[in-house]
Chain A
Amino acid sequence: MNDTAQIFDQGEYNFAYLDEQTKRMIRRAILKGIAIPGYQVPFASREMPMPYGWGTGGVQVTASILGKDDCLKMIDQGSDDTTNAVSIRGFFEKTAGVRTTYETSEATVIQTRHRIPEKGLREDQVLVFQVPIPEPLRFLEPRETETRKMHALEDYGLMHVKLYEDIAKNGHIATTYAYPVKVNDRYVMDPSPTPKFDNPKIDQMPALQLYGAGREKRIYAIPPYTKVKSLDFDDYPFEVQKFDKPCGLCGAENVYLDEVILDDQGGRMYVCSDSDHCEERRANGHLGPMAADPAATHFAGGASEETVQ
């Protein structure tokens, strides 16, 4: 921490990169978002030193809520050590000098792209999502003026038209990520590109959830312990993906798994998408069926650049 703090002291950046007026503006948007769960609050999104689509919204939210005592965890597709996570973690180490961690339970602010940690979050934690497209109705109704009106009038029949189409074409609701939810019985919200596997975790979560979309200039929020219901039909209820085998490395069941190709002979294994969860289980002595496999050992031994996600 000392040398990063030193960089901060040199006055190259304001704490956490953004100037205080910008943070103030974003905090106001966040407060409004918390007051109206699921409502997309417009905000004056700033240019960030990274391209759109890399989490400029999430970064601005994190920068606005970060304090010097916070401990930051960055997740990219469940993993702490893939490109997006590494670069944004580096960004905040440099500009804010805050402590960072891989461990879910240690972090006070967790910024994530796609996944919610398998381990349950606590009331003193904040989960920040990077959102590419905040508007759940976007692909059904391209006019922004119209979708805003639909939100205002709670006119959400169209959302079910999409689910109807899924069932008619595939026999089941085939939407697997960005699965629409209704927040607090009022606003339909896009939980960003998280797999629908994580939707049940959003419901009644003890931690505060903040969603930032930089390009679309929207912030929305779900306060702790808020009812969040995934949309469905009476005769086709919402259900999450099921995996027929446990994690190859730690043997965990009922977690979200990634498929990893091991060679060009058809060798593959399924491992926890949440890398911290997997490592913690292995440290506690849980072993999966592939844990002794040389290829898997190589993979698990920290050769993170091989992670195919």
Chain B
Amino acid sequence: MNVFQPEAPLLQVHNVTRYYGDRIGCLDVSFDLWPGEVLAIVGESGSGKTTLLNCLSTRLAPTAGAIEYRMRDGAMRNLYQLTEAERRLLMRTDWGFVHQNAADGLRMNVSAGANVGERLMAVGDRHYGNIRSTADDWLGRVEIESDRIDDDPRSFSGGMRQRLQIARNLVTRPRLVFMDEPTGGLDVSVQARLLDLLRRLVADLGLSVVIVTHDLAVARLLSHRIMVMRHGNVIEAGLTDQVLDDPREPYTQLLVSSILQV
């Protein structure tokens, strides 16, 4: 999948700051994301993880700072200088966004097949048979039976909805996927299955992923690199294993030590 030299970052974040009035959402965050890399943003509730994710995915304009993305033609573009049309095209072709609550990312009143096919139709696919077989193929990849293709997501369990949401996002072969607590609200065995699936898809497709989670186990399983946030600041960043095995900051040590051991 990677058509670029590994030395060229996919996403460059420069001093992104977001204020909510006087309050800080996130402050002065900078990092590079490389093709095929999975970056986890961890921290407790209110630490600014989701604010940062929303800034990165153009859902929320930052107060200051710049975010650059390498388009498919290889050019770096400032995301907030794209036109609305370019940004929409980017969001439904080259990007994906997996919401914590699958109902936010799905159209609940149309069938599973149409949910997966929507992006294809949005970029101009006009052959019903092709759209349907592609949708069927993707449902298979996320372990949803073919005979559920015409069912509404309403009739799906929480885990199935989440897998459907992932299929819907990946159908246009995006290069960058944002995930906001993708395993939140699922029970443990379903979480494990979803994580397995995500790990396989990410590796197969060579996806770059920015994943926000408060669950360090999810970060450990999926991510290569990790950023720990607190009060809107990135307080520690590094390789996942390194940060989690040998946390430097007292707050990170606290987080790591507060994982329940069974």
Q: Which residues of A line the B interface, CB within 8 A?
A: 149, 153, 155, 157-158, 160-162, 164-165, 167-169, 232-236
Contact = CB atoms under 8 A, between A and B. Distances in A.
A164 B131 CA distance: 9
Given A153-B85, A157-B118, A165 B111 contact: yes
B114 A153 contact: no
Given A153-B84, A155-B88, A155-B122, A164 B117 contact: yes
Interface string B106-127: 0100110110011101110011
B128 interface: yes
B145 to A, nearest CB: 16
B250 interface: no
Given A233-B126, A233-B128, A157 B85 contact: no
B129 interface: yes
B150 interface: yes
A169 B122 CA distance: 20
Interface in B33-89: 84-85, 88
Interface string B172-202: 0000000000000000000000000000000
B110 A153 contact: no
B132 interface: yes
A164 B113 CA distance: 9
12 contacts: A153-B84, A155-B85, A157-B118, A157-B122, A160-B126, A161-B118, A164-B113, A164-B117, A164-B128, A164-B132, A165-B110, A168-B132
B150 A169 contact: yes
How many of chain B's residues touch chain A, expressed as a range? 20 to 34
Contacts of B132: 164, 168
Nearest to A163: B128
Contact of A168 (B84, B107, B113): B113
A157 B121 contact: yes
A230 B127 CA distance: 15
Contacts of B117: 161, 164
A235 B126 CA distance: 8
Contacts of B150: 168-169
Contacts of B121: 157-158, 160-161, 164
Task: Give me the 4 closest cross-chain CB pairs, A-B, nearest first.
Answer: A157-B122, A160-B121, A233-B128, A157-B121
B113 to A, nearest CB: 6
A246 B62 CA distance: 66
A233 B234 CA distance: 49
Contacts of B118: 157-158, 161
Given A161-B107, A162-B110, A164-B113, 10 more contacts: A155-B88, A160-B121, A161-B117, A164-B117, A164-B132, A165-B110, A168-B114, A233-B127, A235-B127, A235-B129
A101 to B, nearest CB: 43
B140 to A, nearest CB: 17
**Residue of B111, B121, B122 with highest tally of chain A CB at under 10 A:** B121
A161 B84 contact: no
Contacts of B129: 235
A164 B122 CA distance: 12
Contacts of B85: 153, 155
B208 to A, nearest CB: 25
Contact of B127 (A157, A165, A234): A234
